[in-house]
Structure 1
């Protein structure tokens, strides 16, 4: 099953490339930290901080800070309510524009293979630039609902049929705009495909680095493909 799903992820990436003709091509670096603070066997606080830089280290991009309270139904199934603050630098307005999100999610982890399914529903408030200038950056807010489906499949690397601390991760996430959306009236928002190599430092700590391909569509219908060098740290710990 895991091999079939891996091929499906690769097929999705190929289709994404085929659909992305005549789009703007850009390059970014993403630095991400994903933590989970365990309270007890049922409750935990997952959170992440992500710095997304455009064109290397010189240009501003986006900062994402997100966290939530998670309840584990059992070892395979988890539900969460969370909040995210996402300021994004606007070149046109020459200022940072804030975004507030409330989100609900359900995670299912497979028993036999290292595969995670995540379904997320977001309510978003995105600040709009003020023509009066950066001293008062937000003139108005636009509201939108969005849904996301995420899959991450981790494949262990073996040496002489014995497991090692190295792995390969395949990941894909699709974003779709929903009803009552002032941010965009188009169904497709974006898709992210990641292939990464990683190393399990300890049982609760791992790092990986890879290539992410992000296809984004704005409300005008214009598309951008971001080629991203992605660094990830994953850390679980007890409170």
Structure 2
């Protein structure tokens, strides 16, 4: 099963590679991401609350790239299977050598399933997420831009993640994950491949319910229209917690 999954991911990335033809434009950027990610179970109930906020900075922190909030509801069916759904809001800014014409907002509904399995002596996390996206199309001039239309798109995301203990206590560990994303729907043309994120980093458990993770992510992103490719070299810091909410 694991070998088939790895082969599928590799095949998807290889199929997307020919899209980067020689006449395309390539933009290289350095980014910093800061993320809070919390999953808070309601006592002994299978239900819980997901809280997430991200600050993404371009030019190694000098300028805004994007900020995002993503709340949701979790339902844990078993120790290895969890379902979630929620809403997200993102604001994207102009950055890089080939910036978009304007800053723009985006609303998303999202649904996901997370399945954990053991293979090759390691624990592997599979996350499949479906997003319904309303992307702001702007009109205006100078500093006065407003949303003229909300363009609807869909996006499918698949993430495969594992960790490798680096200490006997397993409190410090190596992190490896890759996430690939594809766009689909009537309003998508030129770039059904959206992006790929490959990450390597170090994590440390601060307590039973909290951990910090830091590492490097290489983000390969195909912009709308398919001609501009971003190669974003990104350092990220995650604070992650699973403190349960006490029931009254």
**Superposed pair shares fold, TM > 0.5:** yes
Choose the corresponding residue for 1:190, options 178, 186, 195. 195
What is the TM-score normalised by the length of structure 2? 0.83
Contact 1:93 1:129 survives alignment (8 Å)? no
* 1:131 maps to 2:136: no
* 1:106 maps to 2:113: yes
What is the TM-score normalised by the length of structure 1? 0.86
Contact 2:190 2:225 survives alignment (8 Å)? no
Choose the corresponding residue for 1:63, options 67, 75, 83. 67
Deviation digits for residues 70-93 of structure 1 (CA, Å, limit 9, x no counterpart): 111111111111100001113557
Q: Counterparts of 1:11 and 1:147 in 2: how far apart (Å)? A: 16
What secondary structure does 1:90 align onto? Answer: coil
Choose the corresponding residue for 2:166, options 153, 157, 174. 157
> Which ranges of structure 2 fall in alignment gaps of 5 or more residues?
none
Q: 1:129 to 1:27 in 2, by over 3 A?
A: same
Contact 1:25 1:226 survives alignment (8 Å)? yes
Contact 1:26 1:226 survives alignment (8 Å)? yes
1:82 aligns to what? 86
> Which ranges of structure 1 fall in alignment gaps of 5 or more residues?
none
Q: Counterparts of 2:196 and 2:14 in 1: how far apart (Å)? A: 11
Contact 2:102 2:145 survives alignment (8 Å)? no
What secondary structure does 2:79 align onto? Answer: coil
Q: 1:8 to 1:93 in 2, by over 3 A?
A: closer
2:244 aligns to what? 238
Q: 1:177 to 1:15 in 2, by over 3 A?
A: closer
What secondary structure does 1:98 align onto? Answer: strand
Q: Using the TM superposition, name which of 135-144 and 55-64 deviates more.
A: 135-144
2:230 aligns to what? 224
Structure 1 position 184, deviation (Å): 4.3
